[in-house]
Structure 1
Amino acid sequence: MTTQVIPAIDLRQGRVVRLRQGDYAQQTNFDVDPAVLAGQYRDSGATWLHVVDLDGARDGGFANLAYIEAIAKAGLKLQAGGGVRDAAGIERLLGLGVARVVVGSIAVREPDTVSGWLARFGPERLTIALDTRWREGAWQLPHAGWTEQAGATLEVLAPLFAKAGAVHLLCTDIDRDGMMAGPNLALYQRLAALAPGLQVQASGGVRSAADVAAVAAAGIAGVIVGRALLQGSLALADAFVAAGGVEA
C-alpha cells in the first residue's frame, strides 16, 4: 500500500502560518501567498492538499473563505476545515470546490450529529479529525482550536465513528504538532487497533523522508506534512519516494 502524502497549509488572517503544539501565541509566519504555495505543491506532484482555517477552528465560523476558494482553484483535491459547526458549513465548503470537509470540534462535542452527517453527505465527503494529547492516562480530545478540553477520549470516539461508517480519520498528536520531533507511530498503531476499518491520516512531528518512510512502513494510509516543507527540511518529491510513490 502506498501511503498518501498530503501537504498542509494553515491559514490565519489570510497568511500561511504554523503553530507550535496548537498554541496561537507561538506562531511562525511564512511569506508566501497561499494559492501560490498550493500551486507549487501541485507542480511538485501533490494531488491532495490539507487546509486549516485556524481562526475558524478557534472561534467558529469561517474567517478565510476567500483564501480557501482561491486555493481550491489551484487544481488540487482539497481537504479543508476549521470552523465547521453545522451542515450549512459543510455545504458551503463543498460549494467552494472542497472535496472532503474536515470536522473536528463538533465531532468531539456532538458525535451523534456528525454520525448523521456521514449518512447525509457520504463518508467520502467528510474527514473526522480527532486531535489528541496524552493526559491523565488517556488520549484526551481538546477542541475549539485545541483551546478547550472535552470529556471524550480517542478510545471511545474512534470506534464510534468507524461503526457509523466513517472512512477518513485525521489524528494529530498535539504535543508533537509543529515540533519537528517525529511522528508518534505508537499512537497510530493504537488507533488502527481501535478502529481497523478507518483510513488514518497521521499528523504532527514529521520532519524528514525517514519519518515518512516510517509512517508508510507502519501501514498508515496517509501522512500530513506541514512545517517540514515550509522550512525546507523535507522536499515533497522526497516525501513521495519515501511513501512508496504518488497516489491519486
Structure 2
Amino acid sequence: MGTSFSVIPVIDLRHGRVVRARRGERHSYAPIETPLAKGSEPGPIAAALAGAVDARILYLADLDAIMDGAPPNLAAVAAVARACPGVALWLDAGFAEAGAVESVIASGLARPVLGSESQRDPDLVRACGARAILSLDRSGAERLDPAGLHARPGIWPDDVIVMSLDRVGAGLGPDLDGLAAARALAPRARLYAAGGVRGAGDLAALRAAGAAGALVASAIHDGRIGAADLGEG
C-alpha cells in the first residue's frame, strides 16, 4: 500500500441535481445550498469541491439508480467529467448486474462502486475484481449486505469503502471501529472511510488508523476541511 491519503469529495445526485445528504435518509435530501458554488448543477458543484481540496478522485452517488433502479445518469457523470478534467470518478449507481457495470467501464467515464446494499450475488464482486470498488455499507449496527460481502474478505477488491450511512452529514465522527474491523479482515486492502468526518482532526485519526482516504462532503461545503488541512499521510 502507498502512504498517500486522499480526501475524496462526495456528490449525491437526485433527479439530475446535487443534494445534501444526511444520515442516509435519502427521501428527505434537498437540493444543495453551498457557499462554494451557485445552484445545484453537478458540474459547477463538482469543480468547486475538487478545487477546494485539490481532489484526485470524486465519488458520485446516483440516488435515482440506487433508490429507484433507474439507469445510471451518464449525462450527469459526463458533465462532472468535463468540469473536472484529470480527476478520476467513482460511481455508485446501485450496480447489481454485470451488464450495467460493463457499460460504465466501457464508457471510460467512471470506475464503478459496488455497494453491498445493492448486491444479491457475490459473484459480481468477484468477477469485477480490481476494475471496481467495493463499498461495505452499514447503518448503525446493521449491515446492509444481502450477499454477505462483509464476511467474505477473500473476494474483496484492492479498494474498499467502509460506509457508515447513519453518520453521513451528522457530525458524529468517522467509524474507526468499523475501519479497524475491515483492516483486520483485509490487511493489504486500501480502505476508505465514509461518513462522519468533521474536520482535520478526524482526517488525522483516519491516517493514524491506516486509512487510504476519506469520503467527505459536508465538512468541505461548510469550510471545515480545505486544502490547508491536507498533507502527506
Establish whether TM, by shorter chain, passes 0.5. Answer: yes
Stretches of structure 2 lacking an aligned partner (at least 5 in a row): 33-38
CA distance in 1, matches of 2:58, 2:68: 23
Paired residue type of 1:114: V
Q: Which residue does 1:146 correspond to in 2?
A: none
Q: Which residue does 1:68 correspond to in 2?
A: 77
Identity of aligned residues (%): 34
- The SS at the match of 1:20 is coil
Give the conservation status (yes or no) of the 8 Å contact 1:57–1:82: yes
TM normalised by structure 2 equals 0.86
CA distance in 2, matches of 1:85, 1:61: 12
Q: Say if 2:47 is the partner of 1:39.
A: yes
CA distance in 2, matches of 1:217, 1:29: 34
Q: Which residue does 2:99 correspond to in 1?
A: 88
Q: Which residue does 1:221 correspond to in 2?
A: 212
Stretches of structure 1 lacking an aligned partner (at least 5 in a row): 143-149
- The SS at the match of 1:40 is helix
Give a deviation string over 1:41-94, Cα, whole Å, max 9, x none.
Answer: 343421111111011111223252211111122211111122322222123222
User: 1:213–1:106: structure 2 CA closer, same or farther, 3 Å change rule?
Assistant: closer
User: Which of these residues, 111, 114, 138, is aligned with residue 125 of structure 2?
Assistant: 114
CA distance in 2, matches of 1:232, 1:184: 22
- The SS at the match of 2:28 is strand
Paired residue type of 1:205: G
Q: Which residue does 1:29 correspond to in 2?
A: 31
Bigger mean CA deviation after superposition, 9-18 or 58-67: 58-67
Paired residue type of 1:6: I
Q: Which residue does 1:161 correspond to in 2?
A: 155
TM normalised by structure 1 equals 0.81
What does 1:1-248 align with in structure 2 at a 5 Å threshold?
1-30=3-32, 31-44=39-52, 45-62=54-71, 64-73=73-82, 74-75=84-85, 76-105=87-116, 108-118=119-129, 123=130, 125-135=131-141, 140-142=143-145, 150=146, 152=148, 154=150, 156-157=151-152, 159-162=153-156, 166-235=157-226, 237-241=227-231, 244=232
CA RMSD of aligned residues (A): 2.1
CA distance in 2, matches of 1:184, 1:54: 23
- The SS at the match of 2:102 is helix
Q: How many residues are paired up?
A: 222
Give a deviation string over 1:92-140, Cα, whole Å, max 9, x none.
Answer: 222443342101147642112321222xxxx0x20011111343xxx52
CA distance in 2, matches of 1:197, 1:60: 33
